[in-house]
Structure 1
């Protein structure tokens, strides 16, 4: 099979307005247009390295891609510091309308069409560049070579072939995102258990968010983001929940004064504890105790 010529392939011309811009760069070439040394696009960027090594800076993070390797970057992210003079790699701009456009192709199985809906969610949730692994990079490289040949030859049926190849590329990206989500869920579950364990052991004293984050090896902002994404609740919310659970127990099962309960659950100010309790439970500690007094032994 002949090698595709080194040109920029505007897939939009074959997709009637919605598609992708594909460019292959071979060893010794500079960074091709329209990418430039510093590049920011309204489209997602897919990089696939087939030979050698490509180094780029994504925002402030330097990323080295060794063949076979691939990286997916969401739209709006600045990519700069390109160094791939000794490598053979693909750059693909994936427009937001591509998935929807392919999904409207007549006769496309509904299951495949749903992958394109999911792809839009992938790009919306992609906070960090997504590394795609060597096996996926090899598959993507093959699909891109086939795509380049179809667009160059433009034989009968090339539009349908182009759509099919782009569909397969999006399916590969969707599969990798699902795998990444599964890994992150497992990691987040372990992290969540560590956080709850630390809160359970230390909620009875003043507790800073930075202290909890340090204990589990995360920054406060990152930890709060992970917890909110996984549980819908912030780090402070989980601390407050644990304190309020203990406060309710003490109010119901003991006659300990409210001021002392405030201290036992980590609040230095009884009045502040009362305000937090009221917001959390819907009534004051005294009222809560009065309603449940019959349960005190």
Structure 2
């Protein structure tokens, strides 16, 4: 018997469905423990990946490896598909994030056909549908690899500002539960808090403190919506010095208390 672990956690979700549980689920800074491919077919917005913000439009593919902080605008006119590859996916995938503007009509049609084929086989009960799903997933990996090779080079290499924002993003994802503030993050990166904040604003339009708070509050919302962990325990796990401070910070960003948010979720 062949091992199909690679597709056991594969999910294809329409982008509007991702937003159905609250726009915070896609707009807040967060990372995943699996690779993700966002294929936008209609609409436009802005997406922040690893501390750098860019605009996206229809026929843009954004690949995000595990552990990379990101968030994107998803208004009512944005359509497309998010592919979550699962933690155990053994299909070869890029190691770095990529924002690809797919201009060739043939390449646009090709990914649409692949995604439709994967979804059809996943929802089928005909013989060998698991094997067919795995092969189509492999072809999606090949499509992505080829588009990365064909991608138009960036006009300029990331400058020192974007590199610092990316370093901060990586460190923040690793330490956002520690209770560290912007000053401690800046010290760990050998820069001043003022310089770190200025670089974050230039790279993604938001200060370092906002990125930190956004990541912590995203995790708080996720835990409140998906678990029954007491509010005080959530606050402590995210490095807040007291439940009262956590409640104030949560209300400031969401407009609701943690308890009210949990009841509404």
After TM superposition, the score normalised by the length of structure 1 is 0.43
Q: Does 1 or 2 have the higher relative contact order (CA < 8 Å, sep 6+)?
A: 2
Please tell me whether Structure 1 or Structure 2 has the larger radius of gyration of its CA atoms: 1
After TM superposition, the score normalised by the length of structure 2 is 0.48
